[in-house]
């Protein structure tokens, strides 16, 4: 297995969507209303993916919009510190940076409460971006939190159109957050609308039935691969590992057993590590060899497991050296 750190021939990733502040509790096992002390960390799924991609040695940029407030300042500083390019991070006086309060159960799993009224990221209009914003990128990654009816949804559509014309790899992790939608039907409709645009679709075991109507991934694959562009289906199972499918190959890895401190951003770090490995592949996605896929999912599982060992997400992600060391010792 040959993972290269800091390889500038590797495909560059662009993540679009929300960047926000996660307030994570200093103790586990408390309901949100009972938490007394929180720690402030920068997060948001697309930002997490870009950050993990950079921490591993890749190159990434972030497209989002932040408020001209202290939280926006902190997020932009954190993005830069982990190596994310911020030329396409727009700032505004007319909306606020999003906040999320997180409670952690004893097993490290989370519950969220979001503060996104008049949130800045949803107000990002495509016209605010440089027309060449994707010129140096080869991978576009997005999630569903910013797909509500808004200027940001249209920005996604326009970026995806540009990425498709350019032949970029398009990756979609729905990363469902039910509490952010007035009804589940709107969330499902948004996910269904964007699934056909993606070359890579990531779905967790908790999301599978809602998105596909099927209880088993094997039963859902035919419909997913029948979508316009889908070449890779990534199925994550939390502590039980992950499975990666193409039309020709499948690779499964049971994951690494660790005592989770905080699962915030673990799924984001997993897909970032998988995309990092895929970014180093020079052939067509549908031609990924099974051995390559297995190495990639094993690596991504290791990176996700490492993420759960620290609080927060973006700033706490491991580098390549720590990841390789973890794999050698487990």
Every domain of the chain and the residues it spans: 13-17+44-95+120-329
Which residues sit opposite 186 in a β-bridge?
Answer: none
pLDDT score, position 4: 41
pLDDT digits 0-9 by tens, 229-239:
999 999 999 88
CB 30 within 8 A of CB 103: yes
Look at the domain 13-17+44-95+120-329 and name its fold: 3.40.1190
DSSP 11: P
pLDDT score, position 1: 37
Please report, in tens digits, the pLDDT of each residue of the chain (330 residues total): 334 444 456 799 999 999 999 998 887 788 888 888 998 999 999 999 999 999 999 999 999 999 999 999 999 999 999 999 999 999 999 999 999 998 776 665 667 789 999 999 999 999 999 999 999 999 999 999 999 999 999 999 999 999 999 999 999 999 999 889 999 999 999 999 999 999 999 999 999 999 999 999 999 999 999 998 999 999 999 889 999 999 999 999 999 999 877 777 889 999 999 999 999 998 899 999 999 999 999 999 999 999 988 876 787 899 999 999 999 998
Locate 237 and state its tokens: 């199972």
pLDDT score, position 30: 80
pLDDT score, position 77: 97
- Indicate the pairing of strand 89-92 with strand 169-172: unpaired
Locate 182 and state its tokens: 């007035």
Q: What is the DSSP string of 58-121?
A: --EEEEEEEESSHHHHHHHHHHHHTT-B-TTEEEESSSB--EEEEEE-TTS-EEEEEE-TTBSG
pLDDT digits 0-9 by tens, 44-53:
999 999 999 9
3-state secondary structure of 38: strand
pLDDT score, position 170: 98
Q: Cα dist. 231→44, 50, 116, 180 in Å? A: 26, 22, 34, 29
pLDDT score, position 5: 45
């Amino acid at each position: 297995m040959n993972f290269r750190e800091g390889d500038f021939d590797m495909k560059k990733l662009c993540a679009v969507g929300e960047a926000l502040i996660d307030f994570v509790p200093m103790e586990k096992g408390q309901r949100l209303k009972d938490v007394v002390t929180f720690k402030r960390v920068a997060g948001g799924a697309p930002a997490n993916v870009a950050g993990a991609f950079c921490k591993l040695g890749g190159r990434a940029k972030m497209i989002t919009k932040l408020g001209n407030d202290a939280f926006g300042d902190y997020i932009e500083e954190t993005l830069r510190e982990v190596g994310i390019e911020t030329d396409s991070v727009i700032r505004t006086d007319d909306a606020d940076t999003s906040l999320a309060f997180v409670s952690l159960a004893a097993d490290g799993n989370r519950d969220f409460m979001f503060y996104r009224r008049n949130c800045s990221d949803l107000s990002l209009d495509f016209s605010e971006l440089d027309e060449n914003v994707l010129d140096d990128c080869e991978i576009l990654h997005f999630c569903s939190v910013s797909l509500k009816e808004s200027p940001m949804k249209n920005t996604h559509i326009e970026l995806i159109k540009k990425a498709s014309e350019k032949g970029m790899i398009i990756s979609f992790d729905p990363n469902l957050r039910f509490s952010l939608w007035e009804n589940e039907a709107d969330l499902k409709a948004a996910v269904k609308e964007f699934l056909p645009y993606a070359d890579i679709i990531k779905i967790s075991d908790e999301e599978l039935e809602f998105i596909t109507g099927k209880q088993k991934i094997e039963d859902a694959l035919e419909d997913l691969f029948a979508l316009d562009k889908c070449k890779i289906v990534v199925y994550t199972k939390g502590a039980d590992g992950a499975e990666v499918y193409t039309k020709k190959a499948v690779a499964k890895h049971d994951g690494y057993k660790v005592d989770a401190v905080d699962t915030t951003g673990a799924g984001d770090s997993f897909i970032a590590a998988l995309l990092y490995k895929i970014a180093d592949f020079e052939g067509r996605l549908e031609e990924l060899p099974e051995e390559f896929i297995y190495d990639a999912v094993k690596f991504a599982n290791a990176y996700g497991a490492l993420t759960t060992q620290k609080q927060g997400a973006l700033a706490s992600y491991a580098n390549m050296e720590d990841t390789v060391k973890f794999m050698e010792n487990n």
